[in-house]
Each structure stands twice: as structure tokens, then as C-alpha cells.
Chains A and B, each alone.
Chain A
């Protein structure tokens, strides 16, 4: 089956995010393939061993090329990069990606369950709707049987298993699999793999429906009162006293 994996380049989870003048500043930040997207890439490689018929699709600025190379180094066959500096709302993103899906005609599209930059969980569902397909969000198990998918996913109060026909959009998360690390030979091979470039205006999108007014880092100042636990009883009593008398929370 043919599989598309939507991927993003985001600040590394451990990186310190900075903001200045009401805007996040990513100059100098370490960027990486979004961890949530790796599960989709891994799953695609498990379904199509060797990576045949697997395509990475990225919608973002020039720096996204690192994430694309990483996905190719993991084993995807080739990539499409819709290159733009625009920060697009999710409905516009879905409209562009619908265009790519109609060109590529996959059976399955994987999308990360939540993006580590916008904290959005919406793209999978939005794309599924644009295509008129079904979706499974927050998927933790996925199997196939004669063109039918069986999936288990997390719900608000537990989990649910579903059966649906393809094509479909699957959003991924931790638990689905253990993503591989690229090997050195594969990193070398990835440098030669095809990246087709295109742009949002090819799909009729020239601006965002949502405007970012400001971005601020609001960190709560923390007291950092640490107690040495060498004497557990004394330490525990001191902590309870602080929580009761100073913080007034117990």
C-alpha cells in the first residue's frame, strides 16, 4: 500500500524556547523532526518494509529540510516539500495537503498526534475532512486485513478499538511503536533521495485565516526550596510544615 507521512521540523523538546518582543525566536534553537511524527514514519516502514511507496510530506520553511532528511534517513523513499515561510492555519494546511494527497493517491496518511510547536492536534482530522476520509486519532495499535484497518486509540476516559476501510488518516503517538535511529549508511543514502519542491500558492493558498497577535513566555517563578533527605523523618516533617503553613495547600 502507498503511505504518506506528514512531518514537521520543531524546536527540540529539550531546547530552551526564547521569546522577544512578543514573538518566539527560533534563531539558534536546535530543531528536530517532531517526535510525534517519528511514530508515523516508523509505522510506514514496518508496513512497507524497505520503504517502497512511502513518501514524507512537509509543509514549512527551508529549515524543514533537516526533518525531511531525517525521515528519509529512517527509510522513507522520497519527499515532497511545500516550502513556505507563512505560518498557516490548520484549515489552509489541510487544503494544501489535500492537493498533495490527490496527486500522490496514498491509501494511508500518518500525521503526528500533536505538533510540538503549535501544540495543535487538528491537522489529521482537518485533512481527513478535506478528503472526505475517516480518521483515527491518538492511535496506539494498527493492523490491516484485506484493505480494512483495525486500530486502537485513546479516548477521554479510556480506549476504543475501531474497524475502518482505507483510505484513511491515522494520527500517531507514543506507544504505537519504537521509532528506529537512522544508520550511517542510510543517512548517506538519504542525501541522494528525491525531494520534490512546491509551494502553497500552487494549491490556491496565499495567506492564513488565523493571525498570531503575540507569543509570550509566562514562567511562574518557583521557590526551589530543597530539603536534604538524609534524615527522612525530619525532612518529611519540614515539608509538611511548609506545605501547610507557607504554601497553605494541605
Chain B
């Protein structure tokens, strides 16, 4: 039995559909778990992908510690031999705690999963995504996270699984949430865009990101930023690409005024095509670029926006 922890808001998040997809391909029974406020409303949708759905809306289901306790307890109840969780930031703060509670091996941020006798084999990236590792663990129960945007979403079945409300024995976690900021963008989600246009420190000033946004508008692209641009306060953190930001793998990644530091490459280096615009012919980004223009972005970008518009008209 595979226990799949599903992320949701008013419906299943794409991350949940991806983890359910990975679980379906492993070809075992699936118990979907929905934890927290609003879980019951999502249960009918989850039931289309699972043999059974466990739902709990306990108000104490907040914070990594209590989430992990809930998942570990339900894993034992469901006699799961595999617990799958999204490798989202939230998932990755809960999953290791589940593994510790179950004294189980933890396989992190899988890009590929394969069942083996008594366990699981995965592939994941290491060394700032410069290396692809194959790992395996054999144990009564294995905990794994699945890297977002690497798995095809699951397919709904004709027969929905059963939904059960479960009770948990939780105590207050001792963490109080003082405030939350959600950074919403009206654009196509960065991690789902087939073209991403990213601006770096080379833009020189926040208002020059208009060049990035105009090109993105013409191409229907997502907008990204380097850590340097985010740290300078030019762009919101949600746009950051790299080791401490998002990982993207679009068909075309267009980096403008970006030097190509290893920490940035680790978030976009697997893009199918990399395009760079930089005035420094020696910039490291050109070493990984398929196409590029060596020149001043203030001259190149307006021309590029015009050329792209002409193509689209």
C-alpha cells in the first residue's frame, strides 16, 4: 500500500496530482491522505485516484511536527510500505520528520521512481544538480518526496475509492503563525511556463524589468529573476530561480543580464534550450547557452521585443 500525502487548496494541487501519478505507475494500492481545513471538500476528487481516502480536518494540523505525526500514524494504520509526499518546500519540511518517526529510509526529491524487491529505487539530482544519482532503499517502509514538475499527473478512475474520516491525537505544536504573505502573479506559473524570461542584476534597476515583462507578454512566457535581483528588492521572491528558489525546465529559458552562477544554473540548467543576452562574452551563462546575443541589453531587448512581435503578428 502506498500512502500519498496530497496538497490541496479548494481542489488538489498539481503537485498532488503528480505524486498520485507517480504512485499509480508504481502499481500498488493507494491510500490518499488529506490533512487540514477544507480536506473533506477535496475528498471526492482524491477518491478518483485512490483506493481509499483518509480525511482529517483537526485544527491542530498545522506545522511540520504535527503534520508528520499525522502522516506517520496514518501510514502505520494503513500498513503502508511507501509514503509519497510532494517535494514542494512544505513537503520537504514534513517528509524527513515522517521518516524519523517511522525509522525509515528517506529518498528525497525523486525525478524517477521504480519499485524494487522490498523497497524503492529513485533518481535525483545532487551536487547542485550537476550530478544525477540513483539511490535505493530496502525496508518495511520507505519515505520519499517527488520533485515537482517531473511527473505526469495521475489519471482518474471510473470507480472512486472510499472516503473515511479519521481522528488523530495531536497536541499543540508550540509554533504560532504570526502572518503570511502570498505572492500572487497574474502570469503563467513560472514552473509551468514553456518559455521563461529571466532578468538579473544586469538590468540595473527595477523599472528596467519592463523589458523582461514586455518580451514575456509577447511570448506568453513566465517571468523569473536571479537572487541578485530579488535581494535588491527589484522582484518578489516567488520569481527567483535557482538553488534557493524555483526549479524550472522550460522549452526555452531566456536569461537577460544574468551571469550564470552555479546556484542559478542549478535551478534552470535542465531547460531544453537556454538563451542568453549578456554584454560580457566571457559570462559563464554563455557556456551553457544554445543561443545568445553578446551585447548591451538596453539596445538588444527593445529590438528583440519588436522582432518577436513581428513574428507573432
Contact = CB atoms under 8 A, between A and B. Distances in A.
Contacts of B93: 121, 125, 135, 137
Interface stretch (B29-37, B202-210, B273-281): B273-281
Contacts of B180: 155, 158-161
Contacts of B295: 228-230, 232, 235
Nearest to B102: A91
Given A130-B100, A155-B89, A227-B292, A117 B126 contact: yes
Given A129-B97, A227-B292, A157 B183 contact: yes
B286 interface: yes
A159 B230 CA distance: 14
B137 interface: yes
B300 interface: yes
A246 to B, nearest CB: 9
Q: For chain B, what secondary structure do more than half of its interface residues adopt (helix, strand, loop), or is it mixed?
A: mixed
B96 A213 contact: no
Given A125-B94, A220-B270, A236-B303, A158 B292 contact: no
Nearest to B243: A114
Contacts of B173: 134
Interface string B25-62: 00000000000000000000000000000000000000
Interface in B132-161: 132-137, 139
A125 B128 contact: no
Given A157-B238, A159-B237, A114 B252 contact: no
A157 B238 CA distance: 6
A160 to B, nearest CB: 5
Interface residues of A, number: 78
Interface in A80-133: 89-91, 94, 113-114, 116-123, 125-126, 128-130
Contacts of B266: 119
Given A209-B137, A210-B137, A243-B275, A134 B290 contact: no
Nearest to B133: A215
Interface in B85-138: 88-90, 92-97, 99-101, 103-109, 121, 124-137
B304 A247 contact: no
Interface stretch (B16-24, B76-84, B162-170, B305-313): B305-313
B263 interface: yes
A90 B275 contact: no
B208 to A, nearest CB: 16
Contact of B68 (A129, A157, A215, A233): A129
Given A90-B96, A210-B107, A17 B292 contact: no
Contacts of B310: 240
B1 interface: no
A167 B136 CA distance: 34
Contact of A212 (B68, B135, B311): B135
A90 B99 contact: yes
Contacts of A164: 174-176
A155 to B, nearest CB: 6
B300 A129 contact: no
Interface in B174-208: 174-184, 194-195
Contact of B182 (A128, A137, A158, A232): A158
B290 A119 contact: no
A163 B178 contact: yes
A157 B174 CA distance: 23
B106 A235 contact: no
B103 A119 contact: no
Given A158-B237, A162-B177, A236-B300, A229 B252 contact: no
A160 B288 contact: no
B262 interface: yes
Given A227-B294, A250-B308, A214 B133 contact: yes
A191 B134 CA distance: 39
Nearest to B272: A249
12 contacts: A116-B127, A122-B99, A125-B92, A125-B94, A138-B89, A211-B135, A215-B133, A222-B289, A225-B290, A227-B292, A236-B300, A247-B273
Given A128-B97, A229-B294, A239-B293, 20 more contacts: A11-B127, A13-B261, A13-B262, A91-B103, A91-B104, A91-B105, A94-B96, A116-B127, A121-B92, A122-B96, A125-B95, A125-B96, A154-B89, A163-B178, A209-B139, A210-B107, A210-B135, A216-B133, A236-B306, A247-B273
Interface of A: 11, 13-14, 17, 19, 24, 89-91, 94, 113-114, 116-123, 125-126, 128-130, 134-135, 137-138, 150, 154-165, 173-175, 209-218, 220, 222-230, 232-233, 235-237, 239-240, 242-244, 247, 249-250
Nearest first, the 6 A-B pairs at minimum CB distance are A229-B295, A236-B303, A129-B97, A122-B96, A209-B105, A249-B252
